[in-house]
Amino acid sequence: MKRHWNCLDSQFKYENRIVKVREDTYHFLPNNITHDFLVLEFSDWVNIIPETSEGEVVMIRQYRHGVRRETFEIPGGLISEEDPDPSAGASREMTEETGYTSDDIIHIGTVEPNPAIQSNRCHTYLARNAVPGAGQNLDPTEAIRIELIKKSKVYDMIRQGQITHGLVVAAFAYLLLHEGKDAVQPPK
Amino acid sequence: MKRHWNCLDSQFKYENRIVKVREDTYHFLPNNITHDFLVLEFSDWVNIIPETSEGEVVMIRQYRHGVRRETFEIPGGLISEEDPDPSAGASREMTEETGYTSDDIIHIGTVEPNPAIQSNRCHTYLARNAVPGAGQNLDPTEAIRIELIKKSKVYDMIRQGQITHGLVVAAFAYLLLHEGKDAVQPPK
């Protein structure tokens, strides 16, 4: 595609510990107009589907301040500077939030959470044969309950709107595509 | 779950035409500490999978300022105040961005794009028997190319990382779960 956009200016307008808000001014060549675009700069994120040898997913329930209620999710979080790579971050988040560990972690997909307004990525992993370990290791501001759910029931919960986190739904899209057609049951 | 969080204060720190940045201060009762949480207030969003009677999806390519390159997506956008309901917004976005119309639009899922830091939702629709209509009706700052892709190829493109938009991947999770197991082919 012909180059349509030239960035003329870029200014930070707000910053806290998890996001920087940037305003970029672009010249749009085809119509010869300038326009501002908002960009939210975050670290890269990870999430991980811990699956036991019995085909259960280790899910978590926690209060989320964006929607101001408890949600049903898989473990995940920010990649830390101490993580040697994203899979280490995913493994760390799984162990901190659920106590489960796995020595069989594979990458199944990477999304850009919102390419229109965010520059970051979220890497999704599958932890096979996850086993309960030393228990949770939570931050002082975390209260997380774990719940083991049969994978087929997880898909039903997505279909029925009981699991709504966009990055979690995307993670299970990768799992469905990774596992192939036997994974999906017809809707009831 | 016992009530763990009390919101003590809420302040807006930044605002532009698409987002309000809010800082909420909470008291976390179990550990008796206060902590700030960032919340990004957006309108609700919609996206829509336009599918032709030949099983092709009407995809779009456009430059995205968050990731500063062209991405491969389905139509979508903000619900407008003039839309009587989210499905009308999805239908409008489809027609503006692709020129396609459909009289058979169904809701297949709703995500919360990021419940930790956002309050909004994104509603996903499937437009069956989409047909080319009067052509695109783009904003002065939009340059969108459309491309018809076989649905099985769309799933391969997600698997192979050519489609990365998180809300688009989530939309196809809903489509997979809506259509049942015949929709998914085993990985190659």
3-state secondary structure of A172: helix
Question: Which residue in the set A24, A65, A169 is minimally distant from B26, CB to CB?
Answer: A65
Report the pLDDT value the prediction gives residue A134, as an integer from 0 to 100: 79
Q: Is A55 a residue whose pLDDT tops 70?
A: yes
Contact call for residues B166 and B67 (beta carbons, < 8 A): no
Contacts of A181 by beta carbon, 8 Å cutoff, 6+ apart: B181, B182, B183, B184, B185, B186
Quote the minimal CA–CA distance from B120 to chain A in Å: 8
Instruction: Look at residues B40, B21, B47, B65 and name the one whose alpha carbon lies nearest to residue A117.
Output: B65
Contact call for residues B2 and A63 (beta carbons, < 8 A): no
Contacts of A143 in chain B (CB under 8 A): 1, 4, 28, 30
Q: What's the pTM?
A: 0.95
Report the pLDDT value the prediction gives residue A2, as an integer from 0 to 100: 61
- Inspect the interface and report whether the beta carbons of B117 and A66 lie closer than 8 Å: yes
Instruction: Look at residues B139, B75, B183, B39 and name the one whose alpha carbon lies nearest to residue A19.
Output: B39
- Number of A–B residue contacts, CB under 8 Å: 225
Report the pLDDT value the prediction gives residue B34, as an integer from 0 to 100: 96
Q: Is B181 a residue whose pLDDT tops 80?
A: no
Q: Which of B70, B71, B72, B114 to mutate to test the interface with A (most CBs of A within 10 A)?
A: B114
Which helix (H) or strand (E) covers residue B131, if one does?
strand B131-132
Q: How confident is the model at residue B183 (pLDDT cuts 50, 70, 90)?
A: confident
Contact call for residues A152 and A57 (beta carbons, < 8 A): no
The torsion angles phi and psi of B89, rounded to 5 degrees, stand at -65, -40
Instruction: Look at residues A104, A123, A115 and name the one whose alpha carbon lies nearest to residue A170.
Output: A123
Task: List, as one string, the DSSP characters of B58-125.
Answer: EEEEEEETTTTEEEEE--EEEPPTT-SSHHHHHHHHHHHHH-EE-S-EEEEEEEBS-TTTB---EEEE
Question: What's the sign of the alpha-carbon dihedral A79, A112, A50, A98?
Answer: positive
Quote the minimal CA–CA distance from B22 to chain A in Å: 10
Report the pLDDT value the prediction gives residue B2, as an integer from 0 to 100: 62
Q: pLDDT, tens digit, for every residue of A151-176? A: 999 999 999 999 999 999 999 999 99
Contact call for residues B5 and B28 (beta carbons, < 8 A): yes
Report which residue type is found at A93: E
Q: Is A178 a residue whose pLDDT tops 70?
A: yes
Q: Burial level of B79, CB count in 10 A (0-12/13-18/19+)?
A: buried
Q: Which of B25, B29, B155, B167 to mutate to test the interface with A (most CBs of A within 10 A)?
A: B167
Contact call for residues A33 and A51 (beta carbons, < 8 A): no
Quote the minimal CA–CA distance from B154 to chain A in Å: 11
Contacts of B2 by beta carbon, 8 Å cutoff, 6+ apart: none
Enter the ipTM: 0.95
The torsion angles phi and psi of B57, rounded to 5 degrees, stand at -100, 135
